[in-house]
Amino acid sequence: MSGTTTATARQAADVPEGGADSRGPVGQANRWVVLVVLCASLLVVAVDATVLHVAVPAVSEDLRPGSIELLWIVDAYPLVCASLLILFGTLGDKIGTRRVLLFGYTFFAVASALAAYAHTAGVLIGARALLGVGGAMIMPATLSILRQVFPDRRERALAVGIWSAVAAVGAAVGPLVGGALLEHFWWGSVFLINLPLMAAGLPLGRWLLPESVTGSEGPWDVLGALMAAAGLFGVILGVKQAGGGEPLSPLCWLPLAVGAALMALFVRRQRRRTQPLIDFGTLTRAAFGTSVGCIVLTVLALVGLALIAAQYLQLVLGLSPLETGLRLLPLSVAAIAAGLLGSRLLALLGPRTMVALGFVATAVAVLCLLGVGQHDRPGLLVGGFVLLGFGLETTLFGCYESMLSEAPAEQSGGAAAVGETAYQLGAGIGIALLGSVMNAAYGPGVRDAAGRFGISGGDGADASHSLGEAYGVADRIGGGTGAALKEAARASFVAGLHVTLLVSAALLLLGALAALRLPRHMEGAAGVGENGASGAGRNGAPGTGQGDASGTGKDGAPSAGRDGAEQGGASDTAHNGASGVREGDGSGRPLSRGVTRS
């Protein structure tokens, strides 16, 4: 937390463990059970984002959607989910995150049943949109409740590591789960697996999860929330259209322009309100803003590379969807390991070094993958994916932990929504940017080859759109010419992949430079001192407070107690009982006089 946070906000961050729930705070033993419930919820949402990708051919054969309908079947879920994150994240701060989370479970279960038994493309698109509504309720709520349940930063670091590993793994294993189900069942089974999980989550969530109403003053800004939702919808839709190869189309720049204008009006409105949905003063802090930007860069590389890697494994190497998922499994295992080790690495290295090294490790992994070609090299792929998964998860963990610790507890839902929105924006930009780079490098080679082989201009243009379309054109032509076109398309795809990897490595190294703005040390790791006074001692270790059980100083004002001031400047109390701010050196001893608030 920032050194300028008031004593009241510090108490909100460090004291309550269970929020405002009447059943009392969450006990030491129960908070890890709460983490399991939260991670299970997140896993379902993350898997659903990618599980349908391998089922698209089966859906197309059964429902016969048009090209635009097929695009919306895939995109409706992430688009709606990303658009509503801020709306539901800030609503949770107002009415309680557990309540929003349980509503999300219900929406997700109903939408999953509708999607599984959809008989038309329109019904499936509507069900996927409802899934997005449920996902937008669930995702920020899990991170917000985690922030409330783990007030101690060192425990929270471990919890965030597990949480972020589950998020990364869920997206990665989605195609694997989908491929395994499609081996034995129809495409609707990829949605039915959500029903028993949501049915178990509703009673468990109501019983185990604490409510975390922050008691923030003022009404919820409904108009601002709707402006944010509409603005994000337009921006992300425009980005997705650009990724589809239509950057100059009105379907791209018009929603992008309208969305950007609405977001600008939203920011202006929030800056003028005394009780904003999003405190943009928090975003301007170096740790928070840098963490959000690094999340965008990390996910940009992750999603863009994962999409291209899946195409490479299936279309160039000829692997099945299930085999493709298994090849990507080392990335997931490495991400889990990085998440479990994240809290120790953070304490050892600090946020700045950890995030920067994560970016560098990911860039090295990407450069190693330049060695792939038209022939299978499993050893190189496994090694590259392991380093890629470890580096990406290390970076995401450091960013989420720094962002969550910097945000005031009373705005944890909004902060979580900002982080998740950054994730979704990074995914959209990654597909658009790296997809455009891939197409720019792939298309000319295929068109040149088509001209050399005497293939018509129309067929050559179709083949230059994607490797899948090139295979379709080649099969239609047949003979030696078709085989030669396939070979040329594969070679062009591999060349485009190499260019895309180089661009990704450059972006990741840019992220490493940006990470240098993060704090050097893991500051403000709150411990519990004697008699319950919270404070951090030397080097952020738990210190000993000298106050009473409530941490009360002279005149009854909240105090951290002697040697209980947090490292890097935490809220303290002057002798007259007014809250003040001191600078600290990590030992708990004040370096300068407190700044008294009138």
Over the stretch 344-403, which tens digit does the pLDDT of each residue have?
888 888 888 999 999 999 999 999 988 888 888 888 889 988 998 888 888 888 888 887
- CA dist 416 and 413 (Å) reads 5
Q: Is residue 54 part of a domain?
A: yes
One domain for residues 382 and 431: yes
- CA dist 40 and 37 (Å) reads 5
How many independent structural domains does the chain possess? 3
Query: Counting Cβ atoms within 10 Å, is residue 497 exposed (0-12), middle (13-18) or buried (19+)?
Result: buried
One domain for residues 166 and 106: yes
Query: Residue 242: its pLDDT value, please?
Result: 67
Specify the long-range contacts of residues 10-16, CB closer than 8 Å, at least 24 apart.
10/558, 10/570, 10/571, 11/558, 12/214, 12/408, 12/409, 12/410, 13/151, 13/408, 13/409, 13/526, 14/151, 14/526, 14/534, 15/151, 15/534, 16/148, 16/151, 16/409
First to last CA, the chain: 22
Q: Is residue 343 part of a domain?
A: yes
Query: Residue 216: its pLDDT value, please?
Result: 55
One domain for residues 169 and 229: no
One domain for residues 169 and 296: no
One domain for residues 59 and 162: yes
One domain for residues 379 and 431: yes
One domain for residues 348 and 489: yes
Query: Residue 408: its pLDDT value, please?
Result: 66
Residue-wise pLDDT tens for the chain (598 aa)? 333 333 333 333 333 333 334 344 444 447 788 888 888 888 887 777 767 766 777 787 788 777 677 777 877 887 788 788 888 877 877 787 888 889 888 988 999 999 889 888 889 989 988 988 888 888 888 877 887 788 777 777 788 778 777 776 776 667 677 777 777 788 888 888 888 888 888 888 888 777 665 545 667 778 888 888 888 888 877 776 665 556 667 777 888 888 889 888 888 887 787 777 776 766 667 778 788 888 888 887 777 677 677 778 888 888 876 777 778 788 878 888 887 887 888 888 888 899 999 999 999 999 998 888 888 888 888 998 899 888 888 888 888 888 777 766 666 666 777 777 777 777 777 777 777 788 888 888 888 888 888 888 788 888 887 787 888 888 888 888 888 888 888 899 998 889 989 988 998 999 899 888 888 876 654 433 333 333 333 333 333 333 333 334 433 444 333 333 333 333 333 333 333 333 333 333 333 333 333 3
Give CA torsion, residues 256, 257, 262, 266, to 10 deg.
90
Name the phi and psi angles at 443, rounded to 5: -60, -50
One domain for residues 64 and 93: yes
One domain for residues 259 and 302: no
Residue 232's domain comprises: 222-276
Query: Residue 359: its pLDDT value, please?
Result: 93
Query: Residue 483: its pLDDT value, please?
Result: 87
List Cβ neighbours of 240 (8 Å cut-off, separation of 6 or more): 75, 79, 428, 431, 432
Give which of 449, 431, 432 is closest to 492, Cα–Cα.
Answer: 449
Q: What is the pLDDT of residues 430-488, one digit of tens each?
A: 777 777 788 888 888 888 888 888 888 788 888 887 787 888 888 888 888 888 888 88
Question: Which of 521, 553, 574 is the last residue before a domain boundary?
Answer: 521
Question: Which of 236, 258, 276 is the last residue before a domain boundary?
Answer: 276
Q: What is the pLDDT of residues 263-277, one digit of tens each?
A: 888 888 877 877 777
Gyration radius from the chain CA atoms:
25
CATH of the domain at 341: 1.20.1250.20
